[in-house]
Amino acid sequence: MGAEERSFVPVDPDSHFPIQNLPYGIFRRKGFAEEPRVGVAIRDYVLDLALLDGAGLFDHTPAGGKGVFAQASLNPFLRLGREAWREVRVTLKRLLGEGEGSLRHHPDLCGRALVERSRVELLLPVEFRNYTDFYASKHHARNAGAILRGEQNALMPNWVHLPVGYHGRASSIVVSGTAVRRPKGQLKPADSPTPVFGPCRKLDFELELGCVIGIGNRLGEPVPVERAEEHIFGFVLVNDWSARDIQAWEYQPLGPFLSKNFATSVSPWVVPLEALEPFRAEGPVQDPEPLPYLRHEGLRAFDIRLEIWLQGRGEPRRISVTNARHLYWSMAQMIAHHTVGGCNLEPGDLIASGTISGPDPDSRGCLLEITWNGRDPVRLDGEERVWLEDGDRVMMTGYCQGDGYRVGFGEVSGTILPAY
């Protein structure tokens, strides 16, 4: 189903939230003493699923009457599994559609269930149990490697054979709009024989795509690559903030620590995997061919246009446009590799792609690449940036373009606060 689907709620062609999308989030009404609950975005409204469940409209689904929508996270809904997700989505399309059974035929309930987005506070959508960050964009890996090690050693020998990743910090994942405090740590300036302690001087952002695990696997039982997507509930935009100077000193030999664990921002809406199905695309050619457990047949990528906007003291400026189809390793391959040793994923786990960069200078996904480690400053409204300054605001957005409609993620944004 595509452009022919219509909601009784009129939706502009450039809206991120038509009936073809129906992403899930957690919200509460501003000014009301109510508990957080599950909602779905449609145009500039939030549909209150807890209210609809209380009215019995999901009783015919596995989710009905279980209280999963009157919760402060999507986790209880995730645990119900794929059949429940599918039936709820079918029900939502019927309720929001133009035909029989539409919610518009119940004006009192409709008026209470559809809440203007300006009247709600959007909260962290998932209680993230674990967080794994990969390094799945070849363009990014090559650029970062060339900057740090030189062109001849840009890609490490293992990179084309497996999805490189590390375990991040789930407790510091925050929802879009949350301010980010500049971190402190050990730095090793080039002109100093010993490290110093202080605020990060090379604060960066990283544009990433994250998948939310809905169904886990048992400890010791790997997930085959051909079944990996059965474990995905949906996707969010991710900004994995990075302290480049702290990272440069601390990462050998075990990798990032303080440089990554201070904040990771995610968009408030989880776009279901089903909404992205029409936008599958060919991924980059994988050469050499991966080992058998990583061979993923068919369309591995998604055609998602991604943008980065940066605002200093003036107006925001778009500084990069890239696409998720540039990811060398697919989410299915990341899941298969993550679990091949027996690791158990859990409902609510977040798996992020790592920085997404394209082949051109204007399609790079972080300041390290965009400025080439400070050599080429970004020009804003009367200012320049090499790294993020206090007060800067970073906004990332993304959408798939259909025939007369878009399936979008909204945005993930954050403003930099001074260090303590």
How far is it, in rounded angstroms, from Cα 148 to Cα 344? Answer: 34
How far is it, in rounded angstroms, from Cα 337 to Cα 219? Answer: 14
- For residue 66, what is the enclosing H or E element? none
Judge whether 140 counts as a catalytic residue. yes
What residues contact 184, with CB distance under 8 A and at least 6 apart?
Answer: 197, 198, 199, 200, 419, 420
255 sits in the region (left: phi over 0; alpha: psi -120 to 50; else beta) called left
Catalytic residue among 140, 231, 337, 338: 140
Q: What angle do CA 42, 402, 91 make, to 5 degrees?
A: 40
CA distances, 125 to each of 137, 168, 413, 414 (Å): 26, 18, 15, 17
- Active-site residue set: 140
